[in-house]
Amino acid sequence: MVFSRQRLTGSKWRIAGLAILALAGLVVILLAVVDGRIAAWNRYLAQKAAEASALAGAGSLQELLLTPGFVCGQTSDHLIREQISLYADLNQVPETTRGLNVQAYYLSRDATGALIDLANPETGLPWQVGATGAVPCAALYGLRVEVYYPQDTLMIRLIGLKSTSIRAEAAAIWDETAWCSTYALYGLASGTAPSPVSIVGSGLTISGGIHSNGGLTLRGGETPIRLDPAFPVTIGTETSLVWEGVEPAQDLSPVSGDDALSPYLYRLQDFQPGGFLWRAAEARGEAHNLPGGIDGSAIAIEGNGLYVTDGPIQLESLPPRSDGAPWRLTLATSDRIILAPGLIADLAPHTAGVLFFSGADGEEVITVAENADQLSGLILAPAGGVRIDISGEAVLEGAVLGQRLMVTSAGGIIRRQPAYCPPAPGPVALVDAPQGIVRVARLSAGDGE
C-alpha cells in the first residue's frame, strides 16, 4: 500500500492537535488542583480571621460595658473596631483599617430569645460597628463578623480577572443567662463514683433547681428532703441516680440536661489585679489585695469591697457595720474558704458584690459549717468541692456551684435567690452556627411609623 505525503502530513497535524489539547487539559487539571488547594487555604485563613476578630471584638465590647463611666450612645466604639482590625490583620486579611474586607455587626435577641442582628433604626439594616461611632443603647449580647478574603488564583489570572473573594462568618457572645436564677445547687464534675452532687439528711427544703453533670444522690432520712416542683432537677447522660426519701416524688423526675455553664464561669484572674472584676472594684476604691489570708477582723477594718488573697479565708464572725447596712463583699482566693459555725452574715444582694470564690482544687475547698444561721450570696468553687452542713432553722440563700457538692442536713433551707446572680457577663465564646442568626431586613416605608 502506498501512503501519500499529504495523508502523512495530515495525520501528523491531527496527532499534534490532539497532543496540544491533551496538554491543555492537563494544564487545566493541574491549575484546578493548585487553585483548589489555594482556595481551601484561603477559606481556612478567612474563617480563622473571622473567629479571631469576633472574639476580640466581643471581648472589647464587654470591656466597654463593664467600664465605669460607660454611657450608651456616647461611649466610643473605637476600641471594638481597633481590635477587630488588629486580629483580622494578624490573620492575613488585608485592608481592614478602612473596613473594606471586614464588617462587624451588633447582636441582640428577639422575643423568643433567638440571636438577631441589632437593627439600626436610621436605616433598618443590621447595626454595623462604627456606623455611628458609639456603642448603641440596646440589649447587646455580642458581635457577628463577616470577612471577605481576596481570592487571587492562577485560573483567575489566566482568564484576565483581577480577583474574587471568599466570605467567612463568625459570631461571639457571652452567656447572659443568669444560671443562678434557676439553680440553687450546681455540680460540674462528670462521672458517677461518687456522685458529683450528694444531698443526704432529714428535713432539708430545697427551693431551687439542682444540676449535676454526672450522677446525683438525693437520700432523705426520717423526714424527707422536700423539693420545689417549680424548679428542674437535671443530670448528665448515662449517670447514676439515687432517689430516696424525696418529696414530692410523683411530681419530679430527673431528666438529662447538658451543661451549658462551664465556658462562662468566673476565673481566679478575673478577681486578681488587672481582672475586670478587680478593675471595677478599684474604680470604686474598694479593691483589697491581702496576701497570706483573710479573716473577719480584716474585713471589719477595711470595709466593703473585693478582697483577694493567696491564703485561706476564714470567717468566724462578721460584726455588724456601724451604719447598720448590710455588707457588700466579694472574697476570692486560690486557697480554702471556711465559713465557721455561728456565722451570721448580713449581706446585700450580689448586685452589690457578694460572692465567695475559691480557685483551689480538692475535695472540700469551701466549707459551710453547721449552724451558719443565715448565709446569703454565691458560693463558687469551679475547680474544687464544696461541703455544706446545714441544720435547724438555718437558711442558705443564693446559689452554690462546685466540681462536687456534698450536703448533709438535719433541717434547714437552701433557697435560690435571683437577686444574687452575677451582674457581669461571663467570658465570650463562639456561636456554633452563626449562619442561624436572624438577619434584619430593611424596613419598608411605614414600618417605623
- Of residues 155 and 247, the one with the higher pLDDT is 247
Give the per-residue pLDDT at 329: 82
Give the per-residue pLDDT at 192: 65
Whole-number percent of the chain with pLDDT over 90: 20
C-alpha cell at 128: 454595623
Mean pLDDT to the nearest integer, 72-82: 89
User: For 92-111, what is each residue's pLDDT tens digit?
Assistant: 776 554 456 889 999 987 76
C-alpha cell at 428: 465570650
Helix (H) or strand (E) holding 315: strand 313-315
C-alpha distances (whole Å) from 229 to each of 194, 250, 421 are 26, 10, 21
* Residue 341 pLDDT exceeds 70: no
Q: What are phi and psi of 294, to 5 degrees?
A: -140, 140
- Of residues 101 and 425, the one with the higher pLDDT is 101
> Which range (46-55, 339-348, 429-438) has the least confidence?
339-348
- Of residues 235 and 112, the one with the higher pLDDT is 235
* Residue 43 pLDDT exceeds 90: no
> Which range (76-90, 257-271, 331-345, 398-412) has the least confidence?
257-271
* Residue 11 pLDDT exceeds 50: yes
* Residue 405 pLDDT exceeds 90: yes
Name residue, grid cell 457572645. Answer: 173
Strands 115-117 and 102-109: antiparallel
| Bridge partners (DSSP) listed for residue 145 | 104, 170
* Residue 395 pLDDT exceeds 60: yes
pTM of the model: 0.60
| Bridge partners (DSSP) listed for residue 247 | 226
Cβ–Cβ under 8 Å, residues 380 and 356: yes
> Which range (238-252, 286-300, 391-405) has the least confidence?
238-252
Whole-number percent of the chain with pLDDT over 70: 68
* Residue 448 pLDDT exceeds 50: no
Q: How far apart are CA 111 and CA 238, in angstroms?
A: 34
* Residue 70 pLDDT exceeds 70: yes
* Residue 274 pLDDT exceeds 70: yes
Give the per-residue pLDDT at 441: 45
User: For 139-175, what is each residue's pLDDT tens digit?
Assistant: 788 899 998 877 665 555 555 445 567 888 999 887 6
SS3 359: coil
Mean pLDDT to the nearest integer, 69-95: 84
Mean pLDDT, the chain, integer: 76
The one-letter amino acid code at 120 reads N
* Residue 226 pLDDT exceeds 70: yes
Cβ–Cβ under 8 Å, residues 84 and 96: yes
Q: Quick one: CA torsion of 155, 157, 162, 163, rounded to 10 degrees?
A: 30
